[in-house]
Amino acid sequence: MTTPLNGPAKALRLAAIGATLVALGGGFAYAAGWVGPAKLTPQRIIDTFEAQAGHHPGYRKNHAKGLCVSGYFQASGQAASLSSARVFSQQNVPVIGRFAIGGANPFAPDTAVPVRSLAIQLSSDDGQVWRTGMNNPPVLAVSTPQGFYDQVLAGAPDPATGKPDPAKMQAFFAAHPESAAFRQWAAGYKPSDSFASTAYNSINAFQLIDAGGKAHPVRWALEPQTPFAPLPGQVDDKQFLQHDLKQRLAQGPLRWTLRLTLAEPGDPVDDPARPWPAERRSIDAGTLVLQQVDGPEQGACRDLNFDPLILPHGIEPSADPILAARSAAYSVSFNRRSHEALSEGAKP
């Protein structure tokens, strides 16, 4: 059932979640050739981020605030028949990762932003690398390039309040019924008290390629093994999630189950706004074990571009055009912050 939008408070809540996702969506639209250069360019998108959050040289242009972590992935072996990727059969695959919150402000309070992300790089012993960036929402709000552009416009902060205009957001969602699944998720979203107890979703679909060359459409999620606890009602610590993660890791490793959900014929594998039926077959592909924090933007993740199209043999992208566009947008952001860091001595 679609969750209705009741009043400005709910519209602002949806806007807060949607805006941090659509920030990259705007970049996607241009990079994929969806929106003409007279309307939207990578330069203009980056300038828009900085106009909203301030100029922060050397930082990522979305998910700017984060910290590096490291650990390993231990395969269960259950996915080895579906993909020839070595990560699904190797016992211990080194992992470099990064937790972050959405948005372009690296100094935002951890709990002020509803979108959380986890990006990881897995390096298997056959020399292959797999990078994947995941977010806590399971779907996006729109299905089309024009929808991304519409959301960029609707989510622009009102100069008088510094926040999106609830009326514009309500009008946007009313004009985009494909946002129903996202709205339903956002309306029921309850933030946990930790990065460690948050689930992270691929959102986009990919294809597992088995040893015989057969493709198996799939989405994946990292499901936390840390029990859920709600975020406290009032948090004064601006580094709350980062401090919490460091404290937890000081006591021992943290674990997530990598769950692969397989599509069936007719499922929307190229539409990130449409969920798949809950009864779809899923596989426990293994366990992500994170062992330590390497420091906010100081560890090995600092110079990594978590491009979702860096895939090992045995995993291929779906035909979702957003994937190719994400790759191009990530490249623009990476090149910009790298240049800023070199020229201004800022932290990448």
* Catalytically annotated residues: 63
- 314 sits in the region (left: phi over 0; alpha: psi -120 to 50; else beta) called left
Residues 6+ apart with CB under 8 A from 67: 98, 99, 100, 242, 245, 293, 294, 295, 296, 297, 299
List % helix, strand, coil for the chain (3-state, nearest 5).
Answer: 35, 25, 45
In Å, what is the CA distance from 54 to each residue of 51, 64, 110, 196, 262?
Answer: 6, 12, 17, 29, 41
Residues 6+ apart with CB under 8 A from 303: 338, 348
Residues 6+ apart with CB under 8 A from 229: 192, 193, 194, 197
Enter the tokens of residue 144: 């089309």
Gap between the Cα atoms of 16 and 21, Å rounded: 9
Gap between the Cα atoms of 256 and 262, Å rounded: 19
